Structure 1
Amino acid sequence: MMRVSASSLAVAALFLTATSCSTEGDASTSAADGCEEALGDSGIEWVESHADVAGGGELDRGGVDLKDARAQHYKQMESGGSDGSHWSSELCTITAFDAGKKKELKVEFGPSSLPFDFQTKGAEEGTNTPVNSDVKLHQVEDSRGVVRYGIYVKCKIPGTSSRQETETPLAGVMTDTLTSGTSARDHMKYLLHSARAMADALECRNEPTIPAEPGAAMP
């Protein structure tokens, strides 16, 4: 797992056991891996139809379902972890091997290590796109040339401080070396879908407005 920060859009490591299943056959009835919940049926179809794998090779899925992700997130928030111990839940990882090279799309969510207003404090790199007062999108390319698509959502967790929703918002990141011929808007669309699913699971008391599309601000 990875730290979610303004420069890396990742959250600190906590190993989570992944349950893998093949997309061949009826993957939706296999053990829960979070992919259906995070991406939705259209998101799964989007990944499968754009997977850049020679000969349409087999895709494996892994991750945790929303019930487990909720429990992990609440446990972290209850511990007050603003000391760099933030971590993410790996909701979905879709993996394939092409000519011996691993390709994957991954979606992770967890408490952010930076406040919602990090941009105004000059702590971010990459492109920041406000969606509304509750949601902002962030996009940055890492040293390997892999683009990280990030989202920050104001989410008030019961039992936390009055400033928690802005100081420790819900943060998510999607990385993708698996698909081709897809746009930033495509990635953000399904990251927004995942954020809505996660926010619903967390029962954010402020009921953040998370749209289905990133809006006109993103090309």
Structure 2
Amino acid sequence: MNRPLACATAIVLLLGAAACTTGKDDKGKDATTEAAPDVSTCKQLLGESGLQWLEDRTGGKARLEVVDDLERARSLFHRQVKDWTPEETGVPTFLRARTCLAATGAATERQLEIRYGASYFPFDTPFDEATGVSPAQTETAVNSAVKLVHGKDSDGIVRYRVYVKCKIPGTPAKQENEIPIEGRLTDSLTGETSTRVLYAHLLHSAKVVANTFGCENTPVIPAEPPASVK
């Protein structure tokens, strides 16, 4: 997405807008427009309840930013899974789209971030077992096409993940298991301590993403995590 530099780094208030100077008009005068970065992807991923939760937890000070919108995330996922072949070995290094960022100031040390992309690991990976790459995580099965995982990564940061089997037309058999969608939520902004609440917001975003990506297996993504998640 090409934008003037003045607009490219702009972040808008949760319910507000920012003005950007876009250069000269056809008469040589400064042309200023009330244009703001498109945060609709953030709003879609969080939904009304997620936006209200974010506003309540941050006193209405949260700002939203979108680096990669849903169409870019879809294009990236499709390209990567279509380039994959079952003969590949080792852990792939896929790129993930940065679909939503929320922060309350210029500093980004405290933020809520949602990313989506192709998973490095197959859907049936036992995430509750430690590996050379990651410590053991808490894994919760939702159904045959959806699972939830959370815990501290090797960098000490707690992340919440959702894995969704998503078969893309024209890909090899079992692609949906070998390269599922991975959604990742990291939150150092809201102070939320309920895993259930964070998973509910992540599941909402996963449903939006799966619908956008066009999964031909139509995975069923519930609004709430299993009752075992507190």
Identity %: 36
2:127–2:149 Cα contact (<8 Å) kept? no
SS in 1 for 2:71: helix
Q: Which residue of 2 aligns with 1:22?
A: 13
Q: Which residue of 2 aligns with 1:104?
A: 111
Q: Which runs of 5+ in 1 are unaligned?
A: 1-16
State the structure with more CA Rg.
Answer: 2
Deviation at 1:67, TM superposition (A): 1.5
Q: Which amino acid aligns with 1:112?
A: S
Greater RCO (Cα-Cα under 8 Å, separation 6 or more): 1
- Within 2, Cα distance between the matches of 1:104 and 1:68? 22
2:37–2:65 Cα contact (<8 Å) kept? no
Deviation at 1:31, TM superposition (A): 3.4
1:37–1:66 Cα contact (<8 Å) kept? no
Q: Which residue of 1 aligns with 2:151?
A: 140
Deviation at 1:182, TM superposition (A): 4.2
Output the TM-score relative to the length of structure 2: 0.76
Q: Which residue of 2 aligns with 1:46?
A: 53
Of 78, 81, 91, 1:77 maps to 81
Q: Which runs of 5+ in 2 are unaligned?
A: 1-7, 19-34
Deviation at 1:143, TM superposition (A): 5.2
Deviation at 1:95, TM superposition (A): 1.4
Task: Decide whether aligned partners of structure 1 residues 18 and 66 sit closer, same or farther in structure 2, where only a CA change above 3 A counts.
Answer: farther
Q: Which residue of 1 aligns with 2:176?
A: 165
SS in 2 for 1:131: strand
Q: Which residue of 1 aligns with 2:165?
A: 154
Q: Which residue of 2 aligns with 1:193?
A: 204
- Within 1, Cα distance between the matches of 2:122 and 2:9? 29
- Within 2, Cα distance between the matches of 1:89 and 1:36? 16
1:50–1:182 Cα contact (<8 Å) kept? no
2:115–2:184 Cα contact (<8 Å) kept? yes
Q: Which residue of 2 aligns with 1:31?
A: 37
Q: Which residue of 2 aligns with 1:91?
A: 99
Bigger CA drift: 29-38 or 108-117?
A: 29-38
Counting only pairs closer than 5 Å after superposition, residues 105-124 of structure 1 correspond to structure 2 as 105-119=112-126, 122=129, 123=131
Output the TM-score relative to the length of structure 1: 0.80
- Within 2, Cα distance between the matches of 1:121 and 1:101? 30
SS in 2 for 1:200: helix
